[in-house]
Structure 1
Amino acid sequence: MDLVLNVADSYVLSPYVYPASWPEDGALRQILSLLVLTNLGAAVLYLGLGVTNYFLIFDHKLMKHPQFLENQVRREIKYAMSSLPLISIPTVALFFAEVRGFSKLYDNVDDSPLGWPGLLLSMISFLLFTDMCIYWIHRILHHKLIYKLFHKPHHLWKIPSPFASHAFHPVDGFMQGLPYHIYPFLFPLHKVLYLALYVFVNIWTISIHDGDYRVPDALTGAINGSAHHTDHHLFFDYNYGQYFTLWDRLGGSYRHPSALLGKGPHDLIRKLQAEGKLGEGRVTAEGKVNGVARKEE
């Protein structure tokens, strides 16, 4: 994060915002700057990537699904934008620790004992480490003692849009983002690669909420895509993973996506349209999703 802070200091904050008596390496100034930059960056990534996905990728036919709520997109955005500032507070504490040199982030490839191959290894280990951590954090958030307190708001969106990606309770959002921030305190990571992975994480988080179920057949069983995550929203106890299906398989929570079996949200919409039932405000007379009783949360 110090790369972003340095650019902001050089071109905006030092020339136009802070008085000369406030040194760039002052703790208070760094905390205030990080707070502003983190909130601004989160909003730009969320809204920018969300809008792009919404208009270019998201299938708007999903908005006809009986479980797509009235004014849902507006509600998702409102919830996310109210949560992001609160999520940023503990996040800034971690960014501040990075800036003060407590992490294992490094500037030059030569600083890595493995050189350029180390960058590839770091990227792979980052994905594997965070996927494992998020699986277990996500699963714990589904425990009956804490689910209603923190994670239930995210499951309000049974048929999510891209804007549901960040529509979390602040505690939920911070906990699921924590592995990304812990990694560079445990393992060496290039600063530029860290920023690139941070952007990728946001893109991926939006993509698994966008209803685009296309995944190469050879990767369907390994990649936790939008089809997998949509089933998590619909059926609750399955597909907790972030990128991969590995931990769901090991933890007994893997479910092959219903959308890839001809039993997904699009299939239900087509069925209801054919039966003339679309718009009745219910999924079926029995309260089922394609004949499968949905667990109440």
Structure 2
Amino acid sequence: MDYVLSGSDYYFFTPYVYPSTWPEDDIFRQTISLLIVTNLGAFVLYFFCATLSYYFIYDHSLMKHPQFLENQVYREIKFTIQSMPWISIPTVALFLLEVRGYSKLYEEIEFPHGWLQLIVSIISFLFFTDMLIYWIHRGLHHKLVYKRIHKPHHMWKITTPFASHAFHPLDGFLQSLPYHIYPFVFPLHKLVYLGLYIFVNVWTISIHDGDFRVPRIFRPFINGSAHHTDHHLFFDYNYGQYFTLWDRIGGSFKNPSSFEGKGPHSYVKNMTEQKCSSPSENGYKKEKLGNGELTKIE
């Protein structure tokens, strides 16, 4: 993040905003600048990528699904706008530690071993963060914290790309925490870290975009939109972020109903109104969809 901060200082903050007597490495100035840059960057990334996904990838027929809420897109965006500034506060505290040199982020790359380390660090970042997010996400489903923290995100049963960042602030920060922990534990190149930060935000949008197309060879391993849609519908499955590994280890893996011809697209296509209810389970009712699957409703 110090690359972004340095560029912002050079091109904007130093010549146009702050007095020349205020040093660029002053901790209070860095905090203010990081708050501005983090919020601006997050909103630009969210609106740019989610809008592109919504208009060019998202299947708008899903909006006919009976569990798609009235004015849902507006509500997803509103919830995100209200939450992001709060999420940014603890996030900036971690960025500040990185900028001030307390992490293991580095700049130089030595050939050839440095490039090998770069590749290994990317792979380890994905698996490390996927593992921690799995357990954090699963913990957020515990009855003691779910209703207060994670429930708002499960308001959206049939998601759009704009639901990707529509979290309670504490929920959003906790699920992003593994990305910030990694560079304090393992060496990571600064540009790679910045690129991965962008990637994880784009990936988060992609698993909410309703596009279930995945090459068949990757279906057993990649936790895509089809898996995450079933998580929103059926609640107790597919907590992972990128991979299905920890869901398989933790016994929470569910083969996506869409891969079996029973997903939301099939329901909308068939457009049946037949529904039935079963007794409540763990505080949640179950509603039968037209495809015969059960989805938990509150």
For this structure pair, what is the TM-score category when the shorter chain's length is used for normalisation?
Answer: over 0.9
Q: Does 1:242 align with 2:241?
A: yes
Q: Deviations over 1:72-126 (max 9, x none)?
A: 000000001110000000000000000000000001113x993101110000000
Question: Pairwise mapping of residues 98-137 of structure 1 onto structure 2 (< 5 A)?
Answer: 98-110=98-110, 114-137=113-136
Name 1:188's counterpart in structure 2: 187
Name 2:293's counterpart in structure 1: 292
Distance 1:170 1:42 in 2: 14
Post-superposition offset of 1:271: 1.2
Name 2:41's counterpart in structure 1: 41
Aligned residues: CA RMSD? 1.2
Distance 1:194 1:230 in 2: 28
Distance 1:220 1:27 in 2: 46
Post-superposition offset of 1:296: 3.3
Distance 1:293 1:68 in 2: 16
Q: Does 1:23 align with 2:35?
A: no
Name 1:280's counterpart in structure 2: none
Aligned partner of residue 263 in structure 1, secondary structure: coil
Distance 2:293 2:194 in 1: 42
Give the letter aligned to residue 6 of structure 2. N
Question: Pairwise mapping of residues 71-220 of structure 1 onto structure 2 (< 5 A)?
Answer: 71-110=71-110, 114-220=113-219
Distance 2:65 2:200 in 1: 28
Distance 2:218 2:294 in 1: 28
Question: Pairwise mapping of residues 267-286 of structure 1 onto structure 2 (< 5 A)?
Answer: 267-272=266-271, 275=272, 277=273, 284-286=275-277
Aligned partner of residue 115 in structure 1, secondary structure: helix
Post-superposition offset of 1:293: 2.7
Post-superposition offset of 1:192: 0.4
Give the letter aligned to residue 204 of structure 2. T
Structure 1 unaligned regions, length at least 5: 278-282
Aligned length in residues: 288
Distance 2:158 2:84 in 1: 22
Post-superposition offset of 1:292: 2.5
Q: Deviations over 1:203-232 (max 9, x none)?
A: 100000000000110110100000000000
Give the letter aligned to residue 231 of structure 1. D
2:104–2:188 Cα contact (<8 Å) kept: yes
Distance 1:123 1:292 in 2: 38
Q: Deviations over 1:20-50 (max 9, x none)?
A: 1111000100000000000001101111110
Name 2:283's counterpart in structure 1: none
Aligned partner of residue 138 in structure 2, secondary structure: helix
Structure 2 unaligned regions, length at least 5: 278-286
Aligned partner of residue 295 in structure 1, secondary structure: strand
Distance 1:6 1:29 in 2: 12
Give the letter aligned to residue 15 of structure 2. P
Give the letter aligned to residue 22 of structure 1. W
Post-superposition offset of 1:285: 4.7
Identity within the alignment, %? 65
Aligned partner of residue 259 in structure 2, secondary structure: helix
Which moved further from structure 2: 230-239 or 55-64? 55-64
Give the letter aligned to residue 25 of structure 2. D
Point out which structure has higher relative CO (alpha carbons under 8 A, 6+ apart).
1
Distance 2:212 2:293 in 1: 20
